[in-house]
Amino acid sequence: MDERTPEDKRKLIIDCDPGHDDAVAILFAHVYADVLGITTVSGNAPLESTTRNALAVIELLDADTPVHSGASAPLAGQAIHAAGVHGAGGLGGVDLPAPSRAVASTDAVQFLLEATRAQAEVWIVAIGPLTNIALALQEDPTLTERIAGISIMGGSATVGNATRVAEFNIWADPEAADVVFRSGAKLRMAGLNLTHQFTTSDELVEQLREIGSTKSTFVAALFDFMHGRMEELIGKRRSALHDPCAVLTLTHPELIVSEPRAVVVELDGTHTRGMTVVDERVTRRRDPANVEVAYSIDADRAMALVVDSVRKT
């Protein structure tokens, strides 16, 4: 049982591109953390869709969390989406009523800068392309000093998904990721090497359906849709629960093992653009660490917390 008092809860701003796993991360964070606001970015789907989806999820949770829309394109190049995974609208396979509420603003960057001036020790949870975060850092580099840190779902210490070596959130805006990884902010990275250890199953879908609430039915539909897509893509009915890992590392750090590493973002490689290049050398000559990179997760206990969060909301 997790009975955190409001004072105990980490204060978060979630920057996201809903996105099935983004939606679960938002739900989870509203149970185990204090979510000050949500900012949206183009990523899994165009900005209009990710923003609509974020508003619809907040409405489903009956939360009063403000949503601020942000960047509709990366710092360089054209917007890239993941319709083949999440559907054209970003939340394929689920029937969410159109949100009745509107965004609090269309200036995610100003919200990030102002909210972190008004409240100390905020963690920014970045679970989409890092465009908004990079723009905020470029406008006010002192952001790094007043936040607790940035917890990123992105990158990988091993394989990619968007390409052989690049993970989607980094690949969709490598220049933004480079700004963030070089910013000097306290960084935590939940990459694919970690999130591939944290996967859903059809048994989990049935468990959620048996709860029988609106939220549990919604989350079951999210996973069921992703299982169908993964069956087409990898031949297995299971999906990595990527984005909640960036929240879990803050709300339940005891479930994740991380190590300090030097990480840079490749911008120019013909085959490696968007890769997070992690210095895994064991010699003392390796580069100074700028990121806490997650390597393992207690997946059973973490998934039990996800199910509990669905029961609670």
**11, 28, 42, 43: residue in contact with ligand RIB (rule CB under 6 A):** 43
Judged by DSSP in three states, 34 sits in: strand
Q: Enter the tokens of residue 25.
A: 């991360």
Stretch that binds ligand RIB, among 160-168, 227-235, 262-270, 293-301 (CB under 6 A): 160-168
Contact string 98-137 vs Ca ion (x = CB under 5 A): -----------------------------xx---------
Residues forming a β-bridge with 125: 14, 151
Catalytic residue status for 242: yes
CA-CA-CA-CA torsion sign (277, 278, 283, 289): positive
**23, 153, 204, 302: residue in contact with ligand RIB (rule CB under 6 A):** 153
Stretch that binds ligand RIB, among 18-26, 53-61, 134-142, 220-228 (CB under 6 A): 18-26
Q: Does 266 help bind ligand RIB (rule: CB under 6 A)?
A: no
| Closer residue to ligand RIB, CB minimum distance, 113 or 160 | 160
Q: Which of 300, 87, 278 is nearest to 167 (CA)?
A: 278
Q: CA–CA separation, 21 vs 26, rounded Å?
A: 9
Provide, rounded to whole angstroms, the least separation between the CB of residue 86 and Ca ion. 9
Of residues 205-244, those binding ligand RIB (CB under 6 A): 242-243
Residues forming a β-bridge with 297: 256
Q: Are 265 and 177 in contact (CB under 8 A)?
A: yes
Query: Pick the catalytic residue: 68, 227, 242, 252?
Result: 242
DSSP string, 48-93: HHHHHHHHHHHHHHT----EEE--SS-SSS-----HHHH-TTSSTT
Stretch that binds ligand RIB, among 15-23, 58-66, 222-230, 252-260 (CB under 6 A): 15-23
Q: CA–CA separation, 235 vs 215, rounded Å?
A: 28
Q: How many residues bind Ca ion (CB under 5 A)?
A: 6
Question: Which residues participate in catalysis according to the annotation?
Answer: 242
Applying CB under 6 A, which residues contact ligand RIB?
Answer: 17, 19, 21-22, 43-44, 127-128, 153, 161, 167-169, 242-243
